[in-house]
Structure 1
Amino acid sequence: MCRWMAYTGAPLLVEDLLYVPENSLVVQSLHARLGVEPTNGDGFGVGWYGEQHEPGLYRSIEPAWNDRNLRELASHLSSHLVLAHVRASTGTPVQQTNCHPFRHGRWMWVHNGAIAGFRDAKRELTLAVDPALFPDIEGSTDSELFFFLALTFGLEEDPPAAVARAVGLIEDVGRRHGTQFPLQMTVATTDGETLWAFRYSSEGRSRSLFHSTDVSTLRAQYPSNPVLHRLSDDARVVVSEPLGGLRGAWREVPEGTCVRIGHGREELYPFAPIALEPVQ
């Protein structure tokens, strides 16, 4: 399916996230170790927060390992919060508007997974999007539609509840169309200040997801590692699969979990769909 990573902390060169680690996201685009497919070459995207109100985006249908502009950008751009994604299409076209991250205002979103039976459920799910938001949908992926459903259900006010309601709707619609396990997801979303990540699937067998441990502890354990000395104590990374093999550097996010990261702290909460009340 896909691989993604999210970074929050003191400003860091994007190169240190996408290229320097042993199992960097660019490496994963060609040789993913824990993904369904080892190759994620159907485009990529990087989103970051800087001086402007809205985050910046660079998306391309080129494979990440083959894009010289990405390498150039990454060696000059630094940010305190970065989302990056390498895509393996589940059937929708390889086009720039289908590359993650997706953006709406200050919010960004990346997704690994799929809405099963999307062709049958697409019309009903699309009609559930707030009419005021609908014109902003640019692509044709289930991932972008999922994002706009979460926005419809209040992502900007209460991200965990909004995502839970969107998942509840997707599962309800999917099962009414005969799909036993409608959703597979790991998701990251952010407003540029707080990062939320989710691991869930209807089947209870979600794609891999990990978060980094305390940087100061790792720095004491590995004093000669240069990357750790470029990270601030409040730096945190959430990834589809670990970026390297340092012992103790990564913890697996449990099944059915929401991770909230802000101001150098991560908090984990149980996550479950919220069923929508039927319209009277």
Structure 2
Amino acid sequence: MCRWVAWCGAQIYLEEVISKPEHSLIIQSREAHSCKTAINADGVGVAWYDGRPDPGLYKNVHPAWSDPNLRQIVRQVRSGLFMAHVRASTGTATSYNNCHPFAVGRWAFMHNGMVGGFDALRKRIDQRIPDHLYLDRRGATDSEALLLMALGAGMEERPVAAMADAVAEAEALSRAHGTTPHMRFAGCWSDGQRVYAARCASDDHAPTLFYRQRPEGTLVVSEPLEGLPEDWTPLPANRALVVSREGIEVMEFGARALAAG
């Protein structure tokens, strides 16, 4: 499964998170520890915010460890809010449009997890995307669909609740027409002002998610980048994390339960 990192705080060079730490995201692309798949070689992507409301994007279908352009970009670009992702596909093709993060307007989103039986559900899930947002459906992943469903559910006004609704709706479709596990979700999304993250699952195996506060900002990661395990706080399952430059807030995620069948 995929690995990702996010930063919110003072402006730093992207390499301080993506390539320099002892267990950096680039290292995790070939040697992840906190997931079943140690290799995450199906693409890499970075979204960063600076002077414009919408994020800059860099994506490549090559593994992060063999992408010299990635190392140059993260060495030169500074940002106070950015996200990066290395992908391990759960079935969809390795292509530019399937690489995370996905961006629509000011929103960026990346994800580690799966919707059970997505191949059989793709048409039903795509039908849950409003027509005015379907033009933004570039790829074929469940992750991109969740972003568009959440935007359709009112993410502009209710960024955590709308994502929870989208995840619950996709899980209900999997329970009715898909396979187990029906939902594994550790997602991260941003409007350029805050970082939102959450984890949940239809069973007891929600993907990992950790955060660490520093004096200059907060890191949110799928697995720790450096230091000792106790230096990082695990986010409990069925919780969401809201990170701003002023601090963090932990809240309920996925309180709405949809009936199976």
Give the alignment partner of residue 244 of structure 2, picking from 258, 262, 269: 262
Task: Give the superposition deviation at 1:274.
Answer: 2.3
Looking at structure 2, the residues matched to 27 and 275 of structure 1 have their Cα atoms a distance apart, in angstroms, of 38
Task: Give the superposition deviation at 1:40.
Answer: 0.3
Looking at structure 2, the residues matched to 205 and 155 of structure 1 have their Cα atoms a distance apart, in angstroms, of 26
Amino acid across the alignment from 1:264: E
What are the equivalent positions in structure 2 for 1:116-131 lying under 5 Å apart?
A: 116-131=116-131
Looking at structure 2, the residues matched to 204 and 159 of structure 1 have their Cα atoms a distance apart, in angstroms, of 25
Looking at structure 2, the residues matched to 199 and 96 of structure 1 have their Cα atoms a distance apart, in angstroms, of 25
Instruction: Give the percent of matched residue pairs that are identical in Structure 1 and Structure 2.
Output: 39
Task: Give the superposition deviation at 1:104.
Answer: 0.4
**Corresponding residue for residue 21 of structure 2:** 21
**Corresponding residue for residue 90 of structure 1:** 90
What are the equivalent positions in structure 2 for 1:1-280 lying under 5 Å apart?
A: 1-213=1-213, 215-216=214-215, 232=216, 235-246=217-228, 248-275=230-257
Alignment size in residue pairs: 259
Looking at structure 1, the residues matched to 46 and 147 of structure 2 have their Cα atoms a distance apart, in angstroms, of 17
**Structure 1 length-normalised TM:** 0.89
Question: Runs of 5+ in structure 2 lacking a partner?
Answer: none
- Structure number with bigger Rg: 1
Looking at structure 2, the residues matched to 83 and 247 of structure 1 have their Cα atoms a distance apart, in angstroms, of 22
Looking at structure 1, the residues matched to 102 and 207 of structure 2 have their Cα atoms a distance apart, in angstroms, of 20
Name which of structure 1's ranges 6-15 and 155-164 shifts more when overlaid on structure 2: 155-164
Amino acid across the alignment from 1:99: C
72 and 184 in structure 1: CA distance in 2 versus 1, 3 angstrom threshold: same
> For residues 158-196 of structure 1, what are the alpha-carbon distances to aligned partners after superposition, in whole Å with 9 as ceiling and x for unaligned?
011101111221122111115343110100000000111
Amino acid across the alignment from 1:269: M
**Cα RMSD (Å):** 1.4
> For residues 228-247 of structure 1, what are the alpha-carbon distances to aligned partners after superposition, in whole Å with 9 as ceiling and x for unaligned?
xxxx2xx0000000001246
Amino acid across the alignment from 2:225: L
1:169 and 1:275 in contact (8 A); partners too? no
Looking at structure 1, the residues matched to 258 and 131 of structure 2 have their Cα atoms a distance apart, in angstroms, of 18
Task: Give the superposition deviation at 1:205.
Answer: 1.3
Task: Give the superposition deviation at 1:275.
Answer: 4.4
1:101 and 1:108 in contact (8 A); partners too? yes
Looking at structure 1, the residues matched to 198 and 17 of structure 2 have their Cα atoms a distance apart, in angstroms, of 21
Amino acid across the alignment from 1:73: I
Looking at structure 1, the residues matched to 98 and 123 of structure 2 have their Cα atoms a distance apart, in angstroms, of 18
1:23 and 1:242 in contact (8 A); partners too? yes
1:92 and 1:141 in contact (8 A); partners too? yes
Question: Runs of 5+ in structure 1 lacking a partner?
Answer: 217-231
2:4 and 2:25 in contact (8 A); partners too? yes
SS in 2 for 1:197: strand
Looking at structure 2, the residues matched to 171 and 54 of structure 1 have their Cα atoms a distance apart, in angstroms, of 29
> For residues 226-269 of structure 1, what are the alpha-carbon distances to aligned partners after superposition, in whole Å with 9 as ceiling and x for unaligned?
xxxxxx2xx00000000012464211111111001112311111
SS in 1 for 2:242: strand
SS in 1 for 2:226: coil
Name which of structure 1's ranges 184-193 and 173-182 shifts more when overlaid on structure 2: 173-182
Looking at structure 2, the residues matched to 180 and 40 of structure 1 have their Cα atoms a distance apart, in angstroms, of 22
